[in-house]
Amino acid sequence: MNTSDSILATIDSLNDINESIYGSYNLEHAFQTILEKVGKHFSFSFAIIGIVNEDRQVVEIEVSQGITETIAPIPFKQSIVGWTAFYRKPVIVKNFKEESKLTLLSNESMSAITIPMILNGKTIGVMHMESKQADQYNLEDLKIATVFANEAGKVISNIWLINQLNSKTDQLYSLINLSRNLVAKLDRNSILVNLAQETRALLKCHSCALFLIARNKNILDLHTMVNATGILNDSSQIDLNDSAIGGALRRKKQIEIHNILYTEENEFNSIILRDSLYSMLVTPIIFQNQVVGVLNAYSQEKHRFSDDEKRTAFALADLGAMSLENARLYEKTFTSEEILRKNEKLTTLGLLSAEIAHEIRNPLTVIKLLFQTLDLQFDATDPRSKDAELITERINHLETIVERVLGFSHRNHNTKSRNNLSKLAEESLQLVRLKLNQLKIEVSFECPSDELYVEANKGQIQQVILNLIFNASQAISKSGGKIHIKLFQDNDMAYFNIQDNGHGIPESIKERIFESFLTNRSEGTGLGLSIAKRILASHRGTISLIKSDPEGTVFEFSLPLSYSSENSPSTAVSKSE
């Protein structure tokens, strides 16, 4: 083949490589295609393509032709392949017997060509061919092989770039989903466990540990340790003076340790040795410039964490810090709301007491004074004498009651207990059965086979149920009215659904249906749904208007389920549309 034909054939091969590779973006397929095209231009006994692993300082063989056995990773400077990877220079061996400075991979080979695949001044791989014949390759072959190697390097780099973009896209989606999950979680332990699990998954590391700073600020407590098998039942403490982690916390910066056995001398070493951990990435969890813990990623071999991995770990740590603060604020807000509700009740009760005392004491004082002015004097034997004495005693007793009301100070505790929601609904229906019979309203009640227990104030929840039943009955103005009540479970919530075939709620007030004093009935107070909403809010429940039209209305409220050893979660009744 003359030079011109050789150049054209080379160009065709390079085009074929690009066309076949960019259709699949598969690295293994790319290596196979490159070797196939190289085989059309060169005669070899076997050929390999290896990728440089900078962390381990070896060349890892990705694909080969003409050899069946597996080739172990080749260390830098070892054999002709390792020498080429380290010094980044192409090598041609025309006759091994005359040029024996570098070792070939096969004892039967006599000649070889080894070309580094260089991109941006960095060796990313090696292409190597050997032949059993001496003087198989010349300088012209070296030039053509170099062209193939350079093109192969570009192709491989592009595929890596595409894979990295895909990986970053997946990471972005994962981070978005993780942020949603963490924000939705309000339990501190759940947030920390989920954070450790997602960190291990996103960084693709062997294991991940999450430590929290103890109160004395000098000790780290292991909160969660996860690996591919799941959450490990490990417990450990690290004295910051005995660990490189202390430097990361003091400087509030991320650190990377390539061999943790040289830096760690603490209780956690037993876990390091047990799991054969080698490299570690330490990321402090910081909120408002205060370090609350660290997120550690571990590998079982020497690993240099990439900038992408470091940025991902930082993003995860920041998400975790914000989610922990969100959970803390929610807990604080919920506590504050409980206090405000109690104070509101006490204030209302105090005002009501003052009003009652004022309204009773004034006429009572008048009665007492007028009775005393009568100056009724009866003989001791006259029965009226005893009556007058009793009247005076009862008036004084009423005065005492008024004074006690005015001096009211004890709190009205909102006692909650574990109640069966089905029984609460049944008892409520029993209370209104006569009224519903008079109105000729047919009631159907549907409840699941499994009992739904809730932590609630029995009287208050029955008040909510009765209010909804009364509202439904008052909305039915026609004969043959129907009310359907359904109880069901969805996840960890119990639902009470009530549907009637009444005239519905006017559009003008639908949006404000839960406001106080809002009603479209002359005899109504407009307080029922408002009170019901406040009661359910105090039980961590919700109430909503599902639908309302001329065909009828559907209300639904939910309460958190209360589980015990006698009432464990079971298969839920699916929530209907």
* Cβ–Cβ under 8 Å, residues 38 and 46: no
Check residue 573 and give its pLDDT: 42
Tell me, yes or no, whether 140 and 117 share the same domain.
yes
Of the given ranges (192-196, 403-407, 435-439), which has the lowest mean pLDDT? Answer: 403-407
Tell me, yes or no, whether 11 and 139 share the same domain.
yes
The rounded distance, in Å, linking the Cα atoms of 510 and 156 is 63
Tell me, yes or no, whether 294 and 198 share the same domain.
yes
Number of domains in the chain: 4
Residue 572 lies in a domain: no
Tell me, yes or no, whether 252 and 371 share the same domain.
no
Tell me, yes or no, whether 347 and 319 share the same domain.
no
- Whether pLDDT at 322 is above 60: yes
Tell me, yes or no, whether 421 and 457 share the same domain.
yes
Decide which of 283, 301, 329 is a domain's last residue: 329
Tell me, yes or no, whether 88 and 212 share the same domain.
no
How many CA atoms does the CB half-sphere of 37 hold within 13 Å? Answer: 28
Domain housing 89? 3-160
Which parts of 160-274 are beta strand (E)? 207-213, 219-227, 230-232, 237-239, 255-257
User: What is the mean predicted confidence (pLDDT) over 178-205?
Assistant: 78
User: What is the mean predicted confidence (pLDDT) over 143-159?
Assistant: 81
Is the model more confident about 487 or about 417? Answer: 487
User: What is the mean predicted confidence (pLDDT) over 13-40?
Assistant: 70
Is the model more confident about 527 or about 294? Answer: 294
Check residue 207 and give its pLDDT: 93
279 to 53, 300, 304: CA distances (angstroms): 15, 7, 8
* Cβ–Cβ under 8 Å, residues 119 and 159: no
- Whether pLDDT at 347 is above 80: no
Q: What percentage of the chain exceeds 70 in pLDDT?
A: 79
Of the given ranges (19-28, 87-96, 328-337, 397-406), which has the lowest mean pLDDT? Answer: 19-28
Other C-beta atoms closer than 10 Å to the C-beta of 574 total 9
Q: Report the CATH number that the domain containing residue 554 is assigned in CATH.
A: 3.30.565.10
Quickly tell me which residue has 């540990």 as its tokens.
Answer: 209
Residue 335 lies in a domain: no
- Whether pLDDT at 453 is above 80: yes
Quickly tell me which residue has 């005015």 as its tokens.
Answer: 406
Q: Report the CATH number that the domain containing residue 179 is assigned in CATH.
A: 3.30.450.40
Is the model more confident about 474 or about 498? Answer: 498
Check residue 370 and give its pLDDT: 81
Confidence of residue 411 (pLDDT cuts 50, 70, 90): very low
User: What is the mean predicted confidence (pLDDT) over 424-442?
Assistant: 82
- Whether pLDDT at 412 is above 70: no
Tell me, yes or no, whether 369 and 392 share the same domain.
yes
Tell me, yes or no, whether 8 and 153 share the same domain.
yes
Residue 570 lies in a domain: no
User: What is the mean predicted confidence (pLDDT) over 398-416?
Assistant: 60
Is the model more confident about 81 or about 438? Answer: 81
Mean of all residue pLDDT scores within the chain: 80
Is the model more confident about 286 or about 340? Answer: 286
Confidence of residue 569 (pLDDT cuts 50, 70, 90): low
Is the model more confident about 378 or about 230? Answer: 230
Decide which of 160, 184, 207 is a domain's last residue: 160
Residue 412 lies in a domain: no
- CA-closest candidate to residue 89, choices 101, 79, 80: 80
Check residue 544 and give its pLDDT: 92
Tell me, yes or no, whether 44 and 175 share the same domain.
no
Residue 445 lies in a domain: yes
Check residue 116 and give its pLDDT: 93
Torsion of CA 165, 170, 174, 175, to 10 degrees: 10
Confidence of residue 527 (pLDDT cuts 50, 70, 90): low
User: What is the mean predicted confidence (pLDDT) over 29-39?
Assistant: 79
Query: pLDDT tens digits for 288-320?
Result: 788 888 999 999 988 888 888 888 888 888 888
Check residue 226 and give its pLDDT: 92
User: What is the mean predicted confidence (pLDDT) over 544-551?
Assistant: 90
Residue 577 lies in a domain: no
Residue 153 lies in a domain: yes
Dihedral of alpha carbons 231, 232, 237, 241, sign: negative
Tell me, yes or no, whether 322 and 398 share the same domain.
no
Tell me, yes or no, whether 204 and 314 share the same domain.
yes
User: What is the mean predicted confidence (pLDDT) over 323-342?
Assistant: 71
Quickly tell me which residue has 């204030």 as its tokens.
Answer: 347
Check residue 543 and give its pLDDT: 93
Decide which of 109, 134, 160 is a domain's last residue: 160
Check residue 219 and give its pLDDT: 87
Sheet holding 46-53, edge to edge: 74-75, 58-65, 46-53, 122-131, 111-119, 91-93
Is the model more confident about 348 or about 19? Answer: 348
Check residue 247 and give its pLDDT: 80
Length of the chain: 577
- Whether pLDDT at 555 is above 50: yes
Of the given ranges (43-57, 185-199, 541-555), which has the lowest mean pLDDT? Answer: 185-199
Residue 391 lies in a domain: yes
